[in-house]
Structure 1
Amino acid sequence: MLTTLKTAKEMRTLIIYACLILPDGKFIILDYNKKQLLLFKNDGIFIRRVITFTQSPYDACFVRKNTVAVTLGPANQTTLVDIEKKTNIQTIKFSHYCFGVASDGETVVISSNSSQSTRVNLNDMSHTILKGVEGVGRISLLQRNIYGTIHLENKVCCYDSTGEPLWTFQHKDINSPGGITLDMNGFVYIVSSKNGSIVVVSPDGKTCKTILSEADGIKHPYGIDINKKTEMVIVSSIISEDIRNYDTAFVYKI
């Protein structure tokens, strides 16, 4: 473990739906409670509020340069945010609920958690429906493949770039999977919410191993992200026993 994001007393009502490691090592968290993006230094010290949304935000991912994509759930929208200028660059409208989001810098994939998913080409903003990627919650991309979790079925799935299923994995250690991310070698990191753990699935989707658990101080984790170059991973966690539970995030070296 390297650091913990440090939040002031007045911020201790956070509900972290997503946590990101930016290319420069800074951190972004998406707070569902107050509908805001927050920026932290490399050492975990809070810098500033980036932006506040009028709609409920559900997920976020880094896109490219200073841009982060944020899904706005029942509004059927995803917005692109410039984190330096603290402004919305563009709002993309969809025909379905916007839940999970992932990007490879050239495209953005939006999952709905109940129906179809869509890939958006960032160059011409054209939409492609991914018919095979249905009912998927959180998602991640690697080498054009799409990886996702199906929360209610305790499944981890892998699809090719067109949405064709490649493999599905289930294991007793994966219970109510939430956030998902991958390292540079293709290992899939899953938040197992009900187990209070982080489980790694092999690139072929055949085996898994628990690497972090409640014994490491993690409680009710949900968001996760990896910086593939620095091999750092960030995981959101509840750290208060109080009824007004608030979240922070832990940063680890793989």
Structure 2
Amino acid sequence: MASVIFCGPCLYDETHHNARKWCTSCEEGLCEECEKNHRKTKTTRDHKLISIEDYRKIEDVPISFTCGVHDKKFEWFCKSHDKAVCVVCLPTEHRSCSDVIPIDVAATNARQSTAISDLQEAIELIFRNITHCINNRNTATKDIEKEEKDIRKIIQDTRRKINKHLDALEEKLIHTLVTASETCKSNCNTFTRKFHSQQKTLIRLKDQVLKMKEFASDLQVFLGTRQIDKLVMSETESIKTAAKSMYDYKFNLVLNSGIQKLSNGLVKDFGKIQVAEPTSNLNIKEIKIEQAQIQQKIQPSRNVADVNLKLLTMVKIKREGDIRITGCSILPNGHLLFANYNTTELLEYNEEGNCIGRIQVSANPYDITVLDSDRIAITYGSKRFFEIFNYHNSWVVKMIETGGNCWGLSQSNGKIYVRHNQDIGVFDKMGNKLSTLAASGKLYISSSKINIFCSNNSKNNVCCYDMSGQEVWKFHDDYVQHPLGVANDCSGNVFVVGGMSFNLLIIQHDGKTYKNLLNLNRNSIPRAVYYDKDKNTLLFCDQRGDNCALYKILYS
């Protein structure tokens, strides 16, 4: 049962009357008498009143009329940021905005605008996208179950084949054993029969000697002795000859090394299950809402004069071999990655600046950017390709050949931007090429939702382009010499490394002013910078690894 809505003004007088109307401006109910007074009063007579029944239909719609930061009523609307602001927000965050209007003016004819229908279409589109994703995951689950069943069958079939093969090998080995045993026993039996025959001959000769001694004449004994002696000597030689050709057979089993490892438990795995993680090729429909109705939401513009650095960690890169840091990044877990262009490794450090380890990659890495919680993108300079790389299991998701050198890179809006010598290649997060943008510069770039920023070290300038490749502004000042690494914050302000001016500065989002943030000694080689928009931290890198540091960005 719906709760009773009482009249707001009456509650102020500590009386309870049921409301019959609701004022959408005052956000309170009105009884019949208070409704009349509401319509008579000059300041409230233009307020829109709706029935309590109609109000209950929108009662649960999450619409706030007050600022969540300052708890003040919204009175203004900033068209640049598409944001309702209170009297406190206006001078602090929107003082440089020229298109702030009263919120009542901004809301005029809102119900007749196409924004509502566009929003409805957007919700329907998102709902269809979610349904599409659910169906995709259900299909993926069925595919996983089928693949599990198929692999399980392969494992079982392989086991049966192994058993069958082992049975055949066992039978073959037993047959070999039996054959060898029979051959050896046959040889032994041959000698045994021969010796038995000689034994009978000697018994007969022995008997003849006894009889000859007892009954024969001297002449017979004389001749018989010599004749029988020759026979005995012949038998003796025959026994000696046979003894030399006799063998004592010793049987020994030599197991196949593979069988021995298997029987001793040295074979630890039947096999390995490898799980590939290609990105699902889902066709997610984009929301297209006219700029005139809902302007793109961007972060409040921040004045670079209010920006300061707070040192969090100094990172001392271990000098193991030749070091040349050309790119860096901050992973979602807070770990710091450095690209060492003189090796084929990424260096990984924790937030305290301690070395965790090295990640082997395909070639000499030049620059890095984070794509999501599992994947990064890596460029390989003059090798003319870049990779999408799963850093959790050191697995190359996809290698993309570009036909040109691949230097700095950045990602935003679900796209990867790769700096070539003369232009910028635009790719989706699956590595499919979408377009090419003409842009000056060579080595480093950074991207926001609406702009791309390029450093041009040969011409000592930094350029800002829109997403169609049109130049928005160009910054040139003697204070930054040989600009290299660039990164941008959520307001479009650009951090720039001065390679020959030995400094780090920030350029305002309009390209008109700047502030120096960091000066380095002239023995250093400042090179790269990376900004983490979620943690509001900045990673600054020296090419030799001597002055790498993690900073917190403070906005006064």
Q: CA RMSD in A?
A: 2.0
* C-alpha contact 2:316 2:545 (8 A) present in aligned 1: no
* C-alpha contact 1:51 1:87 (8 A) present in aligned 2: no
- 1:61 paired with 2:369, answer yes
Match of 1:241 in 2: none
Cα–Cα, structure 1 residues 182 and 246, in superposed 2: closer, same or farther, change >3 Å? closer
Q: Which residue of 297, 302, 314 maps to 1:4?
A: 314
* C-alpha contact 2:375 2:390 (8 A) present in aligned 1: yes
Match of 2:537 in 1: 232
Q: Which residue of 340, 355, 369 maps to 1:31?
A: 340
Distance 2:493 2:458 in 1: 22
Tell me, which stretches of 5 or more residues in structure 1 are unaligned? Answer: 239-244
TM (norm. structure 2) is: 0.42
- Give matches, 1:84-233, under 5 Å: 84-104=392-412, 106-112=414-420, 114-123=421-430, 125-130=432-437, 132-214=438-520, 219-233=524-538
Distance 1:41 1:133 in 2: 35
Distance 1:105 1:79 in 2: 19
Distance 1:246 1:103 in 2: 25
Q: 1:99 is paired with a residue of what secondary structure?
A: coil
- 1:252 paired with 2:551, answer yes
Distance 1:124 1:172 in 2: 38
1:91-117: CA deviation from partner (whole Å, max 9, x where unpaired): 1111322111111261101111x3122
Q: 1:68 is paired with a residue of what secondary structure?
A: strand
Q: 2:458 is paired with a residue of what secondary structure?
A: helix
* C-alpha contact 1:193 1:222 (8 A) present in aligned 2: yes
Distance 1:75 1:227 in 2: 28
* C-alpha contact 1:71 1:79 (8 A) present in aligned 2: yes
Q: 1:250 is paired with a residue of what secondary structure?
A: strand
* C-alpha contact 2:454 2:462 (8 A) present in aligned 1: yes
* C-alpha contact 2:413 2:449 (8 A) present in aligned 1: no
Alpha-carbon deviation of 1:159? 0.7
Alpha-carbon deviation of 1:44? 1.3
Match of 2:33 in 1: none
- The one-letter code of the counterpart of 1:144 is I
Alpha-carbon deviation of 1:229? 2.3
* C-alpha contact 1:29 1:37 (8 A) present in aligned 2: yes
* C-alpha contact 1:111 1:118 (8 A) present in aligned 2: yes
* C-alpha contact 2:422 2:440 (8 A) present in aligned 1: yes
Alpha-carbon deviation of 1:51? 1.8
Alpha-carbon deviation of 1:163? 1.3
Cα–Cα, structure 1 residues 246 and 22, in superposed 2: closer, same or farther, change >3 Å? closer
Distance 1:4 1:71 in 2: 26
Distance 1:120 1:82 in 2: 18
- 1:81 paired with 2:389, answer yes
* C-alpha contact 1:12 1:247 (8 A) present in aligned 2: no
Distance 2:371 2:314 in 1: 24
Higher strand residue share: 1
Distance 2:360 2:536 in 1: 28
Match of 2:331 in 1: 22
Cα–Cα, structure 1 residues 102 and 246, in superposed 2: closer, same or farther, change >3 Å? closer
Cα–Cα, structure 1 residues 38 and 105, in superposed 2: closer, same or farther, change >3 Å? farther
Alpha-carbon deviation of 1:137? 2.1
Alpha-carbon deviation of 1:220? 1.7
Count of matched residue positions in the alignment of Structure 1 and Structure 2: 243
1:193-239: CA deviation from partner (whole Å, max 9, x where unpaired): 10110011000011111110026x9922101011122221111126x
* Structure having greater relative contact order (Cα 8 Å, sep ≥ 6): 1
Q: 2:333 is paired with a residue of what secondary structure?
A: coil
Tell me, which stretches of 5 or more residues in structure 2 are unaligned? Answer: 1-310
TM (norm. structure 1) is: 0.88
Higher helix residue share: 2
* C-alpha contact 2:375 2:388 (8 A) present in aligned 1: yes
Distance 2:488 2:433 in 1: 26
Larger Rg over CA atoms: 2
